Amino acid sequence: MSRPTGSELMEKLVALCKRRGFVFPASEIYGGINGFWDYGPLGVQLKNRLRDRWWRDMVECPPLGPDGHPLSIVGIDSSIIQNPKAWVASGHVGGFSDPMVDCRETKARYRADHLHVLNHETGERFAFVEGEVEVALKRAKKVLKRSVSEEDFESGLLVDLAEEELEMIWAPGAKERGTLTPPREFNLMFSTTVGATGGDDNVAYLRPETAQGIFLNYKNVVDTSRVRIPFGIAQVGKAFRNEVTPRNYIFRSREFEQMEMEWFCHPDEAAKWFEFWSEQRLAWWRSLGIQADNLVLREHDQDELAHYAKTGEGTVDVEYRYPFTDPAFGELEGVAHRGSFDLEQHQEHSKVKLQYFDPQTQERFVPHVIEPASGLTRGVLVILCEAYDVDESRPSPEIMRIPKSLAPIQAAIFPLVAKEGMPDIAEKLYLELRREFVVQMDVKQSIGKRYARMDEAGTPYCFTIDGQTVEDQTVTVRDRDTGDQQRVALDSVAEFLRAGLAS
Ligand code: GAP
């Protein structure tokens, strides 16, 4: 069996992630809850490592700018719940919605812009869910008694259809035509009430993006830190969207994590910074070891732009070739030119001045903002998809080739047998390494089974203590990716590991 692709790859990956403790369905013992996922012991390690890498490269050691000077970016951690007026000002109460259609017959609910519509000569139209083109083609062929090409599909057409045209649509799985309701706008924000008396006046929202917490603290940061324009404010944290159709595993969920940075600059320099950050972010994802041809930069069309990006100069997405979009690509990160939209809005609604005063030029202005916004949990999905591999020459062929620096478990230590002094040496090595690395000691089962467990967890190195160790103080180290083994001195294992994990 070679490495599977498409839906087969997703099935195998989801099963492995469940079996090994990367990702579990939330509330599984109660039958789960659509759009919510829990991260298990390996998953949370991987997620935290990706988050820490982003934080390091964004806040602690940001890149050099186009002129070779170090950039200045600070971090914050804002509340998930803010004053609801903030979400009115940001445009989310009025405009953060998706068009939604229901099928009266099957009771399924779809995002109207995620339904493909098949157009053919007789005027009959079929709707199919995004990502199910293969199924759609088969069904269309059966009904029309002729083959249909992918070019016959028009994406998102449903949004623009008149009601009489909707009457001619066969919805996915429906037995008769015309069961889809006209699209309705559906606000994606989760609401809650604050305080014990919680009436309509106490409604508050769970943040749908981490970005607004940054805009709300713009003045505080400028007043308390030594930042000078251009500079950035970064934040990592949970965001919540009541997605109409959460799907594709952790790709689109209702609770997820974002890694966002707002780059405040002079309006005249915004175009330069937009280009700079677009290229930087693509290069960053590549630097994690994601294959270059699985990543692209794609500019948004005018009709795709989010409400906040309309006043800016556009949005570029870093896209990845997911197994469920293959051969096409899907969003991983957006780099948006938000212009002065957010600060102007908050200035107007709060009546607090959010201008910047440049002491050198004596100029006062509302900065423009370039925003690289990525999904942390979506990034985890990309790392998992990219890592999954099959090597038939191994007794247990599934391997997670997670970038070594992001691996949840960094090394395993195996005494070959539980006798002849080997467990004691293993224990001593384990106690030394655990001070600096995430290591696991495993004494059970055959050595082949122990290697297989670690291959599935993505552990880069396994050190085995054997008969020779007792004699010459060397251990065998097996490399996850090649399966090659070599001997290294016991007292240089830490150094070996340090170098290997950094590579
Ligand atoms: N502040 C801008 C903003 O939130 P976005 O394109 O809506 O822009 C940024 O979101 C990133 O957050 C996306 O590129 C994606 O990686 C991630 N994201 C958005 N919605 C998501 C969802 N429902 N589930 C998982 N990740 C999501």
SS (H, E, C) 428-447: HHHHHHCCCCCEEECCCCCH
Query: 236: closest CA among 267, 273, 209, 255?
Result: 209
Quick count: other Cβ atoms within 10 Å of Cβ 244?
A: 22
Ligand 1 center to 291 CA (angstroms): 22
pLDDT, tens digit, 9 for 90 and up, residues 489-502? 999 999 999 999 99
The number of the ligand 1 atom at minimal distance from the alpha carbon of 334 is 14
User: Which amino acid is residue 410, in one-letter code?
Assistant: Q
The number of the ligand 1 atom at minimal distance from the alpha carbon of 210 is 1
What is the C-alpha separation between 457 and 384, in angstroms, rounded? Answer: 11
**250-264, 302-316, 389-403, range with the lowest pLDDT:** 302-316
Bridge partner residues of 286 (DSSP): none
**Which residue among 209, 248, 251, 258 is best mutated to probe the pocket of ligand 1, counting the most ligand atoms within 8 A of its Cβ?**
258
Ligand 1 center to 94 CA (angstroms): 19
- Give, using CA atoms, the residue closest to atom 12 of ligand 1: 375
- Residue 249's CATH number: 3.30.930.10
Ligand 1 center to 232 CA (angstroms): 19
User: Which amino acid is residue 48, in one-letter code?
Assistant: N
Query: 232: closest CA among 287, 273, 283, 278?
Result: 273
Band (pLDDT 50/70/90 cuts) for residue 129 is confident
The number of the ligand 1 atom at minimal distance from the alpha carbon of 251 is 25
Q: Tokens 């008694």 label which residue?
A: 145
The number of the ligand 1 atom at minimal distance from the alpha carbon of 258 is 12
Contacts of 142 (CB under 8 A, 6+ apart): none
Whether residue 304 sits in one domain with residue 286: yes
Range of the domain at 403: 396-502
Whether residue 374 sits in one domain with residue 236: yes
The number of the ligand 1 atom at minimal distance from the alpha carbon of 260 is 1
Domain-ending residue, one of 152, 186, 220: 186
CB 243 within 8 A of CB 194: no
What is the C-alpha separation between 245 and 172, in angstroms, rounded? Answer: 14
**Within a domain: 410:** yes
Band (pLDDT 50/70/90 cuts) for residue 313 is low
Ligand 1 center to 258 CA (angstroms): 7
pLDDT reading at 477 higher than 60: yes
Whether residue 244 sits in one domain with residue 381: yes
- Give, using CA atoms, the residue closest to atom 16 of ligand 1: 375
**Within a domain: 430:** yes
- Give, using CA atoms, the residue closest to atom 21 of ligand 1: 252
Give burial (CB, 10 Å; 0-12/13-18/19+) of 75. Answer: middle
- Give, using CA atoms, the residue closest to atom 23 of ligand 1: 252
- Give, using CA atoms, the residue closest to atom 18 of ligand 1: 375
Q: DSSP secondary-structure letter at 502?
A: H
pLDDT, tens digit, 9 for 90 and up, residues 6-49? 999 999 999 999 999 999 999 999 999 999 999 999 999 999 99
Ligand 1 center to 68 CA (angstroms): 30
pLDDT, tens digit, 9 for 90 and up, residues 176-195? 889 999 888 889 999 999 98
**Within a domain: 14:** no
Whether residue 233 sits in one domain with residue 142: no
The stretch 449-470 carries a mean pLDDT of 96
Higher pLDDT, 353 or 445: 353
pLDDT reading at 120 higher than 60: no
Q: What SS3 state is found at 106?
A: coil
What is the C-alpha separation between 67 and 498, in angstroms, rounded? Answer: 33
CA distances from 155 to 118, 128, 236, 438 (A): 9, 10, 33, 46
What is the C-alpha separation between 70 and 64, in angstroms, rounded? Answer: 4
Whether residue 374 sits in one domain with residue 227: yes
User: Which amino acid is residue 341, in one-letter code?
Assistant: F
**Within a domain: 284:** yes
**107-111, 114-118, 479-483, range with the lowest pLDDT:** 114-118
Ligand 1 center to 10 CA (angstroms): 21
**32-41, 305-314, 455-464, range with the lowest pLDDT:** 305-314
**Within a domain: 87:** no
What is the C-alpha separation between 315 and 331, in angstroms, rounded? Answer: 12
Whether residue 322 sits in one domain with residue 246: yes
What is the C-alpha separation between 238 and 236, in angstroms, rounded? Answer: 7
What is the C-alpha separation between 154 and 158, in angstroms, rounded? Answer: 9
CB 180 within 8 A of CB 209: no
- Give, using CA atoms, the residue closest to atom 4 of ligand 1: 209
For 190-215, give the secondary structure using H, E and C: CEEECCCCCCHHHEEEECCCCHHHHH
Whether residue 311 sits in one domain with residue 163: no
Whether residue 484 sits in one domain with residue 404: yes
Whether residue 300 sits in one domain with residue 254: yes
CB 98 within 8 A of CB 189: no
Ligand 1 center to 332 CA (angstroms): 8
- Report the chain's mean pLDDT, rounded to a whole number: 91
**Within a domain: 36:** no
**Within a domain: 198:** no
Q: What SS3 state is found at 498?
A: helix
- Give, using CA atoms, the residue closest to atom 24 of ligand 1: 252
CB 473 within 8 A of CB 463: no
Whether residue 342 sits in one domain with residue 242: yes
Please tell me the total count of domains within the chain: 3
Distance, first Cα to last Cα, the chain: 29
**Within a domain: 37:** no
Taking each continuous run of H as one helix and of E as one strand, the counts in the chain are 15, 27
Whether residue 408 sits in one domain with residue 366: no
**22-36, 140-154, 391-405, 454-468, range with the lowest pLDDT:** 140-154
Domain-ending residue, one of 127, 158, 186: 186
What is the C-alpha separation between 328 and 334, in angstroms, rounded? Answer: 17
Whether residue 294 sits in one domain with residue 406: no
Domain-ending residue, one of 137, 156, 186: 186
User: Which amino acid is residue 391, in one-letter code?
Assistant: D
- Report residues whose beta carbon is within 6 angstroms of any ligand 1 atom: 209, 211, 241, 243, 252-253, 256, 258, 260, 331-334, 371, 373-375, 377-378
Ligand 1 center to 300 CA (angstroms): 15
**Which residue among 260, 342, 378 is best mutated to probe the pocket of ligand 1, counting the most ligand atoms within 8 A of its Cβ?**
378
**Which residue among 96, 190, 308, 331 is best mutated to probe the pocket of ligand 1, counting the most ligand atoms within 8 A of its Cβ?**
331
